[in-house]
Chain A
Amino acid sequence: NAGVMQNPRHLVRRRGQEARLRCSPMKGHSHVYWYRQLPEEGLKFMVYLQKENIIDESGMPKERFSAEFPKEGPSILRIQQVVRGDSAAYFCASSLPQGAGSGEQYFGPGTRLTVT
């Protein structure tokens, strides 16, 4: 019974390159969240998606960041033209649909992005 999977676990990019982070939710979960965590800081909500639909992207920076959750395959968080300030741990979580259960989220191990 696999949990939430994220890859890669570590990603190093030079300034200006693109970063693609992948997340496969738990089996049976159709809703995915992305969070960013800076060192010594809490989790910052970025985006909430269900398959083929972005439900809330109020936490996403207006430029360079995008997310998708296609009908088939993992959810992707894409960061274009990365800058040093994008260096952080990015966590994906999945849950049952809203209203089903208490809303608990199950987190993946995270992708640690380092921009050099």
Chain B
Amino acid sequence: QKEVEQDPGPLSVPEGAIVSLNCTYSNSAFQYFMWYRQYSRKGPELLMYTYSSGNKEDGRFTAQVDKSSKYISLFIRDSQPSDSATYLCAPHTGGFKTIFGAGTRLFVKA
């Protein structure tokens, strides 16, 4: 079993839709749950992160972690064509090693 599982998509939605991106993980020692966004032919950039369980909101983005079920979610409200990218979940234990999911490709159609 992979440490982090993420549906690669692609996920195609109309502009304005609510997008739900998800990951599952197996290592209960993960404490930090990062989301990176990667545009085509660019390096990943940190979008947001949460520590332990709970929700965190930043503008149109909400990150959610359920440690009991080892489930990570990223919600995008009022999605825009500029949100079209690959989204990678990336949990880690607080040490140096971050495990990246395979990434979900999102397309938001105008």
Q: Interface on A for B, CB 8 Å cutoff?
A: 4, 31, 33, 35, 40-43, 45, 48, 55-56, 91, 93, 95, 98-99, 102-110, 112
Contact = CB atoms under 8 A, between A and B. Distances in A.
B97 A45 contact: yes
A91 B99 CA distance: 15
Contact of B88 (A4, A43, A56, A104): A43
25 contacts: A4-B43, A31-B96, A40-B8, A41-B102, A42-B6, A42-B101, A42-B102, A42-B103, A43-B100, A45-B98, A48-B96, A55-B96, A56-B96, A98-B95, A102-B49, A102-B51, A103-B94, A103-B95, A104-B34, A104-B46, A106-B46, A107-B43, A107-B44, A107-B45, A109-B43
B60 interface: no
Nearest to A42: B102
Contacts of B67: none
Nearest to B46: A104
A57 to B, nearest CB: 12
B48 to A, nearest CB: 10
Nearest to B89: A42
Contact of B98 (A55, A105, A110): A105
Contacts of B100: 35, 42-43, 45
Contacts of B71: none
A31 B6 CA distance: 27
A33 B36 CA distance: 16
B43 A103 contact: no
Given A42-B6, A102-B34, 16 more contacts: A42-B100, A42-B102, A43-B88, A43-B100, A45-B99, A91-B43, A91-B44, A95-B96, A98-B95, A103-B32, A103-B92, A104-B46, A104-B49, A107-B44, A110-B41, A110-B42
A43 B36 CA distance: 11
A33 B43 CA distance: 13
Nearest to A106: B46
A35 B43 CA distance: 11
A106 B98 CA distance: 12
